Structure formats: C-alpha cells, structure tokens
Structure 1
Amino acid sequence: MNSRSSAPVGRAAADVLRIVSDPGTPVFVTVQHESGRRRYGYWRPLGSAPGQGACYVALPTAVCDELHAARRIVLGEPLVDPARTTYRVRAVRAVTPAAAPRRTAAPVTSLAA
C-alpha cells in the first residue's frame, strides 16, 4: 500500500512540485535553531551566460509543509551549523498502478485425498 497521498494538488502545490522535481534546480529548507522558522527556497540563475548572477527564490512555506506532511516531498540528510539546519528537498516519485510491483498469486494446492 502506498502511504503517500495521491490526492490531487492545487496550483501552488503543483508549481512547487514542478520546481522540486527539476533535477537542475536544487531546493533546500532551512530551519532556524532559535525560532524554529522554516524557509524553503532555491537559487535561480538570472541568465544563461556566465556572470549573469543569480537570486534566491523563496517557496511558500505553508504549501511546502503541506506537501511534506502528505509525503509528496521528503527531506535529505541535515547539514547543521550553529544557527540553522539545512536539508535538501526532493519530490517523491509517484507510483502509478502500471509501475507498481505486481504480486503473483501462490499456486493453489489441493489438500483432498
């Protein structure tokens, strides 16, 4: 049985899942030690040419927390420093019925003599 929620997600959650699922866009969550505040985000290049710079893009915390609670995203190994802990965020691959492992029935044996 799949413990991940298979319920459809709203537009904001779908946007977050699209970003988190992109292997070229590493997404992280930072948890502040003192306040416990979580901030999800990623770095986005401003241009494709070198030296164009980049900017930090924050993701909606409430949406990300809901996706985490629904097991649609998972957190990687923690990287701890004195002020915060940072985790890599990854999307959970959906298990479709066609891709799910199939169980084969055991052969029926007769106990009649």
Structure 2
Amino acid sequence: MIILKEMTELLKGVLEGVVLQVIKSKKETYGYEITNYLTTIGFEDIVEGTVYTVLIRLEKRNLVEIEKRKSDLGPARKFYRLNENGESYLQDFWKKWGFLVDQLTKIKKM
C-alpha cells in the first residue's frame, strides 16, 4: 500500500492534468464540483484548497476559459471550460503519461 505522503507527492505532478481532464469531461464545471468528483472516484485526500490552487495556475497559464455566474447559495461561482491551449496541454499530458506507463510496465516485466 502506498503511504499517504508518497501518494501526495505523486499527485502533485499530475493534478493539473487530472483537473483539466475533469473539466473536459464535464464540458464546464466549478471548483467545488471538481473536488467532489475527485473524492467520489477515490482521491479522498484532495481538498478544495488544493483544487482551487490548481485552478488558479490553470487560469494564469491560459489553459481554461472562465465565466462568473451568480449563485443562489452565496457569492458568484467561477465556471471553467477548457480552451485550445488547455486541450493541447491535456493531449501532451496524456502522451507523456502513456509513455511513462509503457516504460514502467516494461520494467515491471523484467
């Protein structure tokens, strides 16, 4: 079993790609929904603050489009959509991870 600290370190390297993939799969979404989805699929240790930090980085890197909308439950929410830059980044992300998985599989079979 992977120790929590090790898992956290591994996730740091992939969280931007994971969040972009969630945004792409949902067409558009907001931070709380992303966090809930990741928790639901097994990433229980990812907290909202971490997701929001990633979203800020994605915004600064011009990988997402943002639209603020009023919310009945409080302040306006930022909804995120993938843009062309984000799509390109995501394709590259999956190519790199595909390569890495292939190489690790080869090594494991040695």
Q: Normalized against structure 2, the TM-score is what?
A: 0.45
Structure with greater helix percent: 2
- Greater CA radius of gyration, 1 or 2? 1
Answer 1 or 2: which has greater strand percent: 1
Give the alignment's TM-score, normalised by structure 1.
0.44
